[in-house]
Amino acid sequence: MTSIHTTIIPISVITTCYGRNGHLYNLLSSLSQGSVRPSEVIIVNDDADPERLAQYPLNIVQIATTDWDALALAQNSKSSTINKTSDTGFDIGRNRNLGAARASYDGLIFLDVDCIVASTFIEQLHNKLRIYPNALLMGQPRYLTRPLTDDESLQLQRGQLLSTSLDKLSVYNPYRYNFAAPELDSDATAIEQTQDYGAFWSLCFAISYKQFEAIGGFDTDYLGYGAEDTDFSFSARALGVDFYLTNDVIYHQQHSVYRPPLNHLSSIVINANIFYDKWQQWPMGGWLAAFAEMDLINWYTEQQTAISVSRKPSKSEINAAHYPDAPYV
C-alpha cells in the first residue's frame, strides 16, 4: 500500500476489537491515507493477521487483550493508577486502558474499530489537543447506511474513496448533537465547549495521557455493554476537565443493531446499577424505559433502589428487536 502523505505526527491512536477485522482493515486504510499519519497505532486485539497488518504504512503495535505484564510495566514507567481486573475476556474499557498504558506519546486518540477517519481527522484533532491540552475532545460521527463493498474497501485502501462519497453513504444520528451539515466543508475545524457530559461517546475522542491517567482510565467495574462511556465523562467533569465537541468527522461502519438492545439486557442492568451507586442518577434512561415497558425489569425514573430483572426476553422478542440494516442504535 502506498500513499503520497508521509508527515508523521507525535500522537498515539488506540483501538481494540475482536472478530471485526474487516472493519479494522478499513480503519487502518483510512489512517494510512490521511493528511498526516500518527506515530503509532496501538491495536489491542488477539485475532488480526500480523501479515496483513504489516502491509499498512503505519507503525502498528499489536498487543494481546491478556497482556497484563505489558500493562504492569507501562504502569510502573508512568506511575499509572489505571485499574485492571482479573477477567481475561474481551472488555472494551479494560482494553482501552491497556492500549493507553502502552502508548509512547502523551497525545491519545481513541477510535472504535468501526471508524473510518476523514482525511484530516487525525491532523485536526491533534491540533486541537495541542491548543486544549487539558481537555476532553470528541469528534463528529456520521453513520454509513450499509457496509462498504469489497471494491469500496479497495478504493479506501488506495486513497480513492473520497469523503464526498462517504458523505453520500452516511447520515447523522438524530438523537445526538450534530454540527450543521454545511459546516463540514466550510468550517472543518469547528469546536464547541459543552457542559453536557452525557453527550460524550468514546467512539472517537482525544485526550492527553496525563488527563487520562488523572481520570483513572475507564472504570473496569463496568463489564460488557453500557454506561462506561458516560462514567468516563462524568469522572472528567468531577475533575474539572473541559469537554469539547469538534466537527472532525469519522464514518461509523454499518453493522446490525438491536432496538432496544435486548441482547445486552443483563450487562445494561448490571452497569446501570453500578453507575447509580456511583453517581446517584440513572444512565441509559431510554433503554431502561423500553425494558420496563416490556416488563423485563422493575424500574422507574425516580427509583433509588437497584434494578432487578423480572424476566429474560424471549428469542422472538430479541429477533423482533434486530435491525440488520440500521446505521445506529
3-state secondary structure of 59: coil
Same domain, 234 and 268: no
Widest Cα–Cα separation across the chain: 58
Residue 116 lies in a domain: yes
Q: Distance between CA atoms of 145 and 252, rounded to whole angstroms?
A: 9
pLDDT of residue 283: 96
Same domain, 213 and 233: yes
Q: For residue 120, what is the domain's CATH number?
A: 3.90.550.10
C-alpha cell at 185: 466543508
Structural domain ending residue among the three candidates 255, 282, 297 = 255
Same domain, 276 and 241: no
Same domain, 210 and 272: no
Same domain, 177 and 287: no
pTM for the model:
0.90
Residue 328 lies in a domain: no
Cβ-Cβ contacts under 8 Å for 19 (sequence gap 6 or more): 47
Same domain, 247 and 267: no
Residue 181 lies in a domain: yes
Structural domain ending residue among the three candidates 212, 236, 255 = 255
Q: Distance between CA atoms of 67 and 93, rounded to whole angstroms?
A: 15
Residue 3 lies in a domain: no
Q: Which domain holds residue 57?
A: 8-255
C-alpha cell at 189: 475545524
Cβ-Cβ contacts under 8 Å for 79 (sequence gap 6 or more): none
Cβ-Cβ contacts under 8 Å for 197 (sequence gap 6 or more): 230, 233, 234, 236, 237, 243
Residue 329 lies in a domain: no
Residue 111 lies in a domain: yes
Same domain, 242 and 273: no
3-state secondary structure of 15: strand
C-alpha cell at 222: 463496568
**Half-sphere exposure of residue 16: CA atoms within 13 angstroms, side-chain side:** 20
pLDDT of residue 66: 74
pLDDT values of the chain reduced to their tens digit, one per residue, 329 residues: 444 547 999 999 999 988 889 999 999 999 999 999 999 999 999 889 999 999 999 999 999 987 655 555 444 444 334 444 333 346 889 999 999 999 999 999 999 999 999 999 999 999 999 999 999 999 999 999 999 999 999 999 999 999 999 999 999 999 888 886 554 455 557 999 999 999 999 999 999 999 999 999 999 999 888 899 999 999 999 999 999 999 999 999 999 999 999 999 999 999 999 999 999 999 999 999 999 999 999 999 999 999 999 999 999 999 999 999 999 98
Same domain, 159 and 219: yes
pLDDT of residue 28: 98
Same domain, 174 and 228: yes
Same domain, 286 and 246: no
Q: Distance between CA atoms of 47 and 63, rounded to whole angstroms?
A: 10
Q: Distance between CA atoms of 290 and 297, rounded to whole angstroms?
A: 9
Provide the number of structural domains found in the chain.
Answer: 2
Same domain, 267 and 236: no
Same domain, 236 and 271: no
Structural domain ending residue among the three candidates 199, 226, 255 = 255
Q: How many CB atoms sit inside 10 A of residue 280's CB?
A: 8
Residue 299 lies in a domain: yes
